[in-house]
Every structure is written in C-alpha cells, then in structure tokens.
Chain A
Amino acid sequence: MKILFPLLVVIILVGLVFMGVQEANLHLLFGIIIPYVSVTIFILGVIARVVNWSRSPVPFRIPTTCGQQKSLSWIKRDCLENPSNAVGVIGRMALEILTFRSLFRNTQTELKQGPYLVYHEEKLLWLAALAFHWSFLIVVIRHFRLFIEPIPGCLSLLCSLDGFMEIGSPVVFLSGVALLGAVSFLLLRRILSPKISYISLTADYFPLFLIIAIAASGILMRYFVKVDVIDIKAYTLGLLSLHPVIPADVSVIFYIHLFLVCVLLVYIPFSKLMHLGGIFLSPTRNMANNNRLKRHINPWNYPVKVHTYEEYEEHFREKMKQVGIPVEKE
C-alpha cells in the first residue's frame, strides 16, 4: 500500500497531463500557468520553511564525538571533525554537503546465522546517494543550456564533459544514465531489503517514483521519442523573459516532463526534500564546538528580577540589629 499509492499518484499525474494536453488541449494551463505557479510556490515555500526553522532558538553548541575537541596544547585535536572556529566549521559543512561525510560513517546491523549480531560499514548507500545527488545537480545545471542564450563557455564545457564518451547521436549524457541508475538503486534498496521496506513510507516512495518518471521522460525525449529542441528552447526563453508563447506543436512527452518537474518543485517545500535547505541548518554540523571557549547566553533568558544582599540588608537592617544579626553597614 505504501508503495502502490505513490506509484499510482505518479501514473495518475502522467495520465492527467496526457489527457489535458492531448484530449482537452489545455496547453495554456500546462505550458504557462502551472510552470509559473509552481516556481512561485517553490521559492516562497522554501523561504517560508527556512524562516520558520530560523525561529527556533539554538541555545548551546552540540559537541559531537567525531573527533578530539580543542583542549590542552599537547592533546592532538581534530580541526575538521570537531572545529572550534568558523574556518573549521566551513570545512566540516563543505565535507558534509559535497561528500556526505556523515553518511560515509553509516553502519549496518545484521543478524547472521549463529546467531551473531554483526555491525559493519555500509558504503553502498553513501556511494549511490553521492552518484544520485551529483548527477542530479549536473543534469539540472546542464538544462540551463535550454534556459539561457547565449550559452556561457563553462556550461558548454560541462555539456561536453558530460557527453565525452560520444556514444550515439545525439551523444549520451553520462549524468542522465547515472541519475536513473542511482535512483533505481535507491528504490530497489527500499523494496528488496525487508528492514528498510518496513520503515519506508509513502513520503519515501513518492519522490523516488517522481524522479524516476522525470528522468525517464527526459531520457525518452532526448533519445527515443524525439522532440524539436529548438521549439522548446524558444518556448523556455519566452517563459523566462516573461513573454510566454505556447510552442507550436511539441509532443505530449515534453508536457509530461515539464509537469512532473513542476510537481517536484511544488512538492519540495512541503516534504522531506527540504533537506536541500535543511542540510545547511544541521545544528550538529554548522556550529563550532566552543562551548567552554566562549560564553553562550541562552536566547530565551528573560531578565530575572534579583534581590541583592545590599538591598536585603537595607530592607531589614533595623530588625537584624534588634535580634543581634551582624550587618555589613551600620
């Protein structure tokens, strides 16, 4: 059920745009209104989520035990895993965001015959996640060749590198193949491993199916069900320069691809895909471990009304004198 429902939703979404464009001729809706609306929801949604997060106070630093913290001068410290200053934090964040450092530490618990409970390193998930995220990033950047004109040299270089194997015509982009391969692995992992399948929810399967559908429709469009890319670039440039024009007769597969991307954009701010922004706000990663080096004041401390001894004595001096309690000031 948890897997069938999201699969069904993606199939219905594809069917929806197929019927809408092919049968009902809703080109204006799927080609112009939905892209604009979804980009707006995406930007505003992400801002709202991040602003909402930023309302939570972070009262103290969370030291993690990944490395020796700064201590006495003769104790070797780990600048990157347990930084005490901003430079170290930037290094740790860069490792986390660019290479998924904490996922690299991933361990797996398994019950072997015997019975033995075995803990072992599980690098395959890290590798697949790295392949998936990096190829997705390259695919997104590569799409900018259809968004901007003239195309800058660095973008052109990226496209050449991506297709440097020169397989077929049009050349196969390696990132597209890597993306579909990695996302399929991440899906199969959830399906085939009973333990992971047990904890997988609709919110895990839906983005996977959606991204598989996006990648598959993109690959279909590039290599198999060909579309006129010149028309499409003219259309995207029109959208982006705010003079939208519906492309003359572009195959329905393009609308399916576009609509699924719009669904993904709208889905991001309301789902776990917000880890896109959330990773930058990981409290155990983005704060220097300087708990004892600097004074950290709890942000929700309110001014406490204090009654000092001087004030106390001032108040009760006469009574204290009467019963013979020594006072500091006569």
Chain B
Amino acid sequence: MYDKNKIIPGLIIFVGIVAFPFFYNLVTADYKPEPSLDTPVINKMSKKQCVRPKDFMKTEHMKVLHEWRDSVVRYGEREYGVIDGVKYEKSLQKTCMQCHSNKKDFCDRCHTYVDVKPYCWNCHIAPEGKEE
C-alpha cells in the first residue's frame, strides 16, 4: 500500500462519518415522545375525540391547519362543521388549543423530536401552559 499516511486517516474519517449516528446513539437514550392529553378540558370529555380520527390527525394535522388558515384568512370561511352535535370553528386558538391547552407537553414534544418549527406562533399567542 502506498501513501499509507494519507489513505488510512482518510478511511478513518470516512468510517467515522458513516458511523457517527451509531456512536451518537450509544451515548444518548432512544425514546419515543408521547404527547400528553392531560388537560382540564380533555379530562372532562366523556368521549375523547378530536375533529378527525387520531391516526389522521397524527400525519395530516399540519395540512388541516394550513387549509384552515387559508380558508379563514383568504375566504372568511370560519365554520368547520358539526361533529356529534358540537359546532367546531376553524381556529387554532379557539378550537385546537381549547382542548390541547398544554402546548409544551402536546405540540412541542413531537415537534422538538423531529426538529419541526411551525410558524403558527409567529402570529398566534402561545398558551402559557396548563391551567391550574
């Protein structure tokens, strides 16, 4: 082998970069965040349900919010519909955050986990946390 003093460090750097996530995970604990549903409003609900099923909300909530924003801000359509006799408004603060008043333990847990920084709170006022 020629140029050992350059080839071997180069290969070590290559392996180091590829194996970096493995080493990083050796020193950190892997976990899966669980968004908390422990809020006064949700606890009072007899049948715990969102405006759409849980699995749908898990993957599509950002699209729903985006559509809501567009239809409210651009077309002034505020009504979402009636589900089980309850009328819902297309509103982050009046609908979503009414139940999920725990932004830190609900929104942020997953968002921080996958490094999503939604710009909802550029305009909206984030709730202070759990109401006692």
Check A148 for interface membership: any CB of B closer than 8 A.
yes
- Are B11 and A226 in contact, with the CB atoms below 8 A? no
Q: Which residues of B contact A166 (CB under 8 A)?
A: 119
- Are B62 and A170 in contact, with the CB atoms below 8 A? yes
Q: Pick out which of these stretches binds chain A: B29-37, B80-88, B95-103, B124-132.
A: B29-37
Check A169 for interface membership: any CB of B closer than 8 A.
yes
8 A Cβ contacts from A76-93 to B: none
How far, in angstroms, from A241 to B32 measured CA to CA in the complex? 13
List the count of A-B residue pairs having beta carbons below 8 Å apart. Answer: 100
A149 and B31 in contact, given A230-B110, A230-B114 (Cβ under 8 angstroms):
yes
CB-contact partner of A155 in B26, B58, B115, under 8 A: B115
Check B15 for interface membership: any CB of A closer than 8 A.
yes
Check A54 for interface membership: any CB of B closer than 8 A.
yes
Q: Is the interface of B mostly helix, strand, loop or mixed?
A: helix
How far, in angstroms, from A323 to B32 measured CA to CA in the complex? 100
- Are B59 and A42 in contact, with the CB atoms below 8 A? no
Q: Which residues of B contact A147 (CB under 8 A)?
A: 21, 24-25
Q: Which residues of B contact A277 (CB under 8 A)?
A: 14
Give me the interface of B with A, judged by CB distance under 8 Å: 1-4, 7, 10-11, 14-15, 18-19, 21-22, 24-26, 28, 30-33, 58-60, 62-63, 65-66, 110, 112-119
A-B residue pairs in contact (CB < 8 Å), sample of 17: A39-B18, A46-B14, A50-B10, A50-B11, A50-B14, A51-B11, A54-B1, A55-B2, A56-B2, A149-B25, A149-B28, A230-B32, A230-B58, A230-B113, A231-B32, A241-B25, A280-B10
Give me the interface of A with B, judged by CB distance under 8 Å: 39, 42-43, 46-47, 50-51, 54-58, 144-151, 155-156, 159-160, 166, 168-170, 226-231, 233-234, 237-238, 240-243, 277, 280, 299
